[in-house]
A and B are shown apart, each in its own frame.
Chain A
C-alpha cells in the first residue's frame, strides 16, 4: 500500500533553515507529482509546493516563493522541502501528498512532521 513518511521537523530559531524529507513506498514514485501542504496549529490546510514526476518543474505558493525549495530523488523515492529564513508564521505540520492526475486530487498523505519556529 502507498506509504508516505515525513521527517526532519523540529524546533528551529527564526531566520534559520530546515530541510524536510518524505520517504515514499508502495507505488511507482517516479510516475507521480508530489506536493507539500502545511497546516498551522488549529488552522486550515495551505498548499506549499509541487514538483513534477521527473523533477523538471516546480511551482510554489506565491507567499513562499524564494524561501522554500522543493526537490526529489527518484533513485531514493524521496521528496524534500528546503525552508530558508524561517518565520514564526511558518510553524505548522508539513504533509507530503501524492497527486493523482486521474483524480485531479491529493489521494495519499503522510502523517506530517511538525515544524516549530521559535526563539
Chain B
C-alpha cells in the first residue's frame, strides 16, 4: 500500500491549464478504473471533483477533467481561476478492500 506518486507542485497562469499526474502500479491505478481526485483548500476537508477516472460529480465545473493511461492517471484543470489554488490528491482502489491516496500536489495560480 505505497502512496501514489504525484508531483509536489504545479502552476499556471490565470486562464491557462495545468495537468497533474498520479502514478501507481498495476495493482491499483492500472488495475481498476476507480481513480478519483480531491481538491483540498487550506483548513478544509477534501472535496470530490473526479470519480471513476474521468467523471464529474454534479456541481463540479467542466474545467476539471481526468484521464488514465496504464498505471498513471492525470487531472487537468483548464481555464485556471484563482479559486483553483489548492492541494489536489488522487486516490485509487488497490484491491482486497484497500485504498490508496496520492502524495498530493499543490496547484498555484500565477
Contact = CB atoms under 8 A, between A and B. Distances in A.
Interface in B62-110: 89, 91, 93, 96-104
| Centre residue among B36, B45, B48, B101 by max chain A CB count within 10 A | B45
B46 interface: yes
A109 B47 CA distance: 7
Contacts, number: 72
A111 B44 CA distance: 7
A63 interface: yes
Interface of A is mostly: strand
Given A62-B1, A110-B45, A104 B52 contact: yes
A57 interface: yes
Contact of A44 (B45, B48, B101): B101
Contacts of B41: none
Contact of A107 (B32, B34, B57, B99): B57
B97 A109 contact: no
Interface residues of A, number: 25
Nearest to B49: A105
Given A61-B1, A103-B57, A106-B38, A47 B98 contact: yes
A63 B91 contact: no
A37 interface: yes
Contact of B48 (A47, A59, A61, A103): A103
19 contacts: A37-B101, A43-B104, A44-B3, A45-B91, A45-B101, A46-B3, A50-B99, A59-B97, A59-B98, A95-B46, A103-B55, A104-B34, A104-B51, A104-B52, A105-B51, A106-B46, A106-B91, A109-B46, A110-B45
